[in-house]
Structure 1
Amino acid sequence: MRVLHVVTLHTPTHDFGGPTRVALNLSRGLRARGVQAAMVALGDGFDGEMPREVDGVPARLYQARHVLPRFEVSGITSPSLLADARRLVRSADVVHVHLMRDLVTLPYALAALQCGRPLVLQTHGMIDPTEKRAAQLVDVLGLRRVLKKADAVLHLTEQERRDTAAVVAPEPMAPAYRLVNGVEPQQRRPERDGRPPTVLYLARVQERKRPQDFVSAIPTVLAKYPDTRFVLAGPDTGAMADDMLALARSLGVGHALEYVGPLDHDAVMARLRASDVYVLPAIVEPFAVSVLEAMSVGLPVVVTRTGGLSPDVGAAGAGRLVDSRPDADNGERVGQAVLELLDPAANAEASAAAHRLIGDSFTLEGVVDTLQEIYERVIAARPGGLRATRTRGS
């Protein structure tokens, strides 16, 4: 089987984050089973030639052109990428599009329909009803069509399924299947051996992730554990990291906070293993891979109740859930949750629960099992099955 994963963007600093990481994880898992999985995307920020492989996955990257800068990632594309769409789509038995309202994934989804290839859409919580006129125009021009005509639409949570279906209502959406994110099992991190505690934020530094609540929590934690170190890591969006460092200085805790910038995957895992609590105060976070990676090494997490993973974290005792509001300073609540998890006994209990939760429910192997079943189901539903997908539209 040949599977083409289509995502919007890949950069050396992983600026686009989740969807690209998920596509790479799934592709690696599929390739380990003999499936010919590859990825196509825009590339940006590379010196010289684009890489032909990313994390062991064959990749076809095209230089991003910022044709509509005010729309940020939704306004980038490549004439060459669009010109090659039909050829690349025809080379696949299944086209798996990580869909958003943009000039990359939507054209490829439409090309898959035109070429008669089985189309699987994964929306990552990015498709819901909107009042924005430009987004509504995109819906009319093609988004609704692919959501109705695809062979499968994948969702992380029931709320995401409802939100996506509402975009095409009252007409029915294509068949929906739940597919959670998964990660590779890891050994548990070592217990702290006399070193000062470390609290980690590792995600894009942007307003939606609420790094200001992480920074605002520092005084509360230092009042009890004055030697605690706080690490802010991840790609900076709009120079917000400088604002966070300035906020820490204004609170009198600048000495305790370090910004280390974007990290590659090996460095991410090393930071997680060297930390004692992971904090992601995002109010809207469909199903954060970074939270899964933290728990995979047994790192307790502090997340908001509104996250897609929060019910699992709470039920397992893998960390602490906090209430959070977009119009409030939530630092005190985050700080108190961190303090609870810095207690050695509570930390050890949550660490074991986090590691167990990943092994029981969120391994990449289990996710790929489900994904392969979905692929096989959509191919089998076509007259002639796999043989027909290799001839139709060629």
Structure 2
Amino acid sequence: MKILHVVTLHTPDHAFGGPTRVALNLSKVQRAQGDDARIMALGDGFDGELPDAVEGVPVHLFQARHVLPVFEVSGITSGALLRAARRMMRGADLVHVHLMRDLVTLPVALLALATRTPLVVQTHGMVDPTEKRVAQLTDLLGVRKVLRGADAVLHLTETERLDVNAVAAPVPLTRTVRLVNGVRPQERKPARDPARPPTVLFLARIQERKRPEDFVAAMPAVLEKYPDARFVLAGPDTGALPGTLALARRLGVADSLDHVGPLGHEEVLSAGREADVYVLPSIEEPLGVSVLEAMSVGTPVVITRTCGLAPDVAEAGAGLVVESRPGEDAANAGKVAQAVLDLLEPEANERAGEAAWGLVNGHFTIEAVTGTLRRTYEDVVRRSRR
């Protein structure tokens, strides 16, 4: 099967995060299974020529043009990409669009509908009801048509299914399929050595929504019990890094904080193995790949109740789920700190680490995900031919 994944953006530091990582992970397994899977996207931030492959996956990248800078990622596009998309659709059995309200994935999805190319849409929690006028106008001009016309709409959680249905209203979506994120199974790391100073990891885009300030604000309480603890702040900066580092200096914990910047995929897994606890106090996180990657090596996690993985983590005992309330920064940081301290206890760490590793291997492997997706693809192509 010839599959064209369309995602908004790829950068050297993977700053766009989840959708591009999901497209890469899916494409790698699909290609290993004999499919011709490839990715089309904008490229930005590269020195010299844009790459034609990423992690062994063929990519068709086009230089991003910042036509509406005020809208950041949503305001970049490329006429060359849109022209090439029409051409590449002719040879594709199916187009898988990782949809957001932007000038790349939305017009490509509309083009797929216009050319009657089988279309699968995955929104990654990025399309939900909103009061923003520009987003409402975008929904009116194109998003609703795409959701209603797609051959399948993939959702991560029940909340996301309800959200996309609300955007598509009053027409109910009948071709929705739950597809979780998946990661490759990994060897479980050894049990934590209590004689070694602990390491606590934050690994995600450093942006306000991910709440890196809560991670830093939790440091003093943890350092009170573990003065030699190291805190690793990893990931590309998308606006919140200066404030986060300034907070560390104000709290007097900057010497215990290692800011390592963006990491490659293997470095991400290595950082997870070296960490004793992974922390992501995000306000909203549909189904974080970085959380799954940490658990895949046996690292317990601290996440918030608004994370899509919260029910799974809580039920499996793969870490701790904390409440995070807007405007209650001190209380939020205190909850994160207590959760980290609880998971640093040797028995609790071992128990939660084993549960985390088992949770990923039981429910969130990329092979299981691509199996579900393959059945969806076959159903879509079969219906389109009929």
**TM-score if structure 2 supplies the norm length?**
0.98
How far apart are the structure 2 equivalents of 1:81 and 1:289? 27
Residues 2-46 of structure 1 show CA distances to partners (whole Å, capped at 9, x for unaligned) of 000000000000010000000000111111110110000000011
Task: Work out the CA distance in 1 between the residues paired with 2:90 and 2:223.
Answer: 58
| Corresponding residue for residue 268 of structure 2 | 268
Residue 350 in 1 paired to residue 376 in 2? no
Residue in 2 that maps onto 1:389: none
- Matching residue of 1:90: 90
Q: Offset at 1:242?
A: 2.4
Equivalent residues in 2 for 1:36-75, closer than 5 Å = 36-75=36-75
Confirm or deny: 8 A CA contact 1:157 1:178 kept in the other structure.
Answer: yes
5 Å-filtered alignment, 1:199-210, equals: 199-210=200-211
**How many residues matched?**
383
SS in 1 for 2:114: helix
Amino acid in the other structure paired with 1:75: G
4+ aligned runs moved over 3 Å, structure 1: none
State the match for 1:107 in structure 2: 107
Match of 1:242 in 2: 242
Unaligned ranges ≥5, structure 1: 385-394
Q: CA deviation at 1:195?
A: 2.4
Q: Aligned partners of 1:88 and 1:72: how far apart in 2?
A: 27
The one-letter code matched in structure 2 to 1:103 is L
Q: CA deviation at 1:382?
A: 2.2
1:116 aligns to what SS in structure 2?
coil
Give the whole-Å Cα distance in 2 for the aligned partners of 1:144 and 1:358: 34
2:337 is equivalent to residue 335 of structure 1: yes
Structure 1 equivalent of residue 305 of structure 2: 305
Cα offsets for 1:327-354 (capped at 9, x unmatched): 1111111000000000011000000000
Name the structure 2 match of 1:197.
198
User: Could you tell me how far 1:174 is from its partner in structure 2?
Assistant: 4.8
> Hey, what's the Cα distance between the residues in 1 that align with 2:215 and 2:127?
27
Identity of aligned residues (%): 65
- Matches of 1:357 and 1:84 in 2, distance apart? 41
Contact 2:192–2:350 (CA under 8 A) maintained in structure 1: no
Whether the 8 Å CA contact 2:192–2:346 is kept in 1: the answer is no
What CA deviation, in whole Å up to 9, does each residue of 1:118-144 have, x standing for no partner?
100000000011111111111111111
Structure 1 stretch displaced more, 179-188 or 77-86? 77-86
Structure 2 CA distance for aligned equivalents of residues 160 and 46 of structure 1: 33
- Shifted more, 241-250 versus 341-350: the winner is 241-250
CA contact (8 A) 2:276 2:344 kept: yes
Measure, in 1, the Cα distance between the counterparts of 2:171 and 2:382: 25
Give the Å deviation of 1:172: 2.0
- Paired residue type of 2:171: E
**Equivalent residue runs for 1:1-394 within 5 Å:** 1-193=1-193, 194-238=195-239, 240-329=240-329, 330-384=332-386
**Secondary structure in structure 2 of the residue aligned to 1:84:** helix
RMSD: 0.9
Please give the secondary structure, in 1, of the residue aligned with 2:221: helix
Amino acid at match of 2:346: P
CA contact (8 A) 2:301 2:320 kept: yes
Deviations 1:210-255 (A, max 9, x none): 00000000011011111110010000012x2222121111112111
Within 2, Cα distance between the matches of 1:364 and 1:83? 32
